[in-house]
Amino acid sequence: EAEGIIERVTPRLQHANSAVVMSAVKVILSYMEVMAGSGGASADSIRNLTRKLAPPLVTLLNSEPEIQYVALRNINLIVQKRPSILENEIKVFFCKYNDPIYVKMEKLEIIIKLVSERNIDQVLLELKEYATEVDVDF
């Protein structure tokens, strides 16, 4: 039953409305927990679902700053539970010079949660760049 619901919700990951996308992600994550807990799903099907969630979440970061912030707050919660969803997408969380300070701070928190031995050099270079940045607030 959970797989059927996920199958019906998955097309909503491509919706133009960011609230619809976030709701679809929430539903899929909830049912992934159910599937994993009941032992009804294989590791492959969970892995496939995990792969499907990253692109829509990354796309939300191309929105205006206010929507970006809401998306980042939600992504922060998602990464706490399932860091594997975005482990290969750390670059999209690197701060842009014109990001508002509240977006930069959220991105930093997510970067800290996603850092691993594989990407530590990349992250350290980026943090070094931030340290020499002109933005006094940051």
pLDDT in tens, the chain (138 residues): 778 899 999 999 999 999 999 999 999 999 888 877 766 667 788 888 888 999 999 999 999 999 999 999 999 999 999 899 999 999 999 999 899 999 999 999 999 999 999 999 999 999 999 888 877 676
CA 84 to chain centre: 10
Contact residues for 65 (Cβ-Cβ < 8 A; gap 6+): 99, 100, 102, 103
The model's pTM: 0.87
**Residues 72/108, Cβ–Cβ less than 8 Å:** no
What's the CA gap between 90 and 103, in Å, rounded? Answer: 15
**Residues 72/78, Cβ–Cβ less than 8 Å:** no
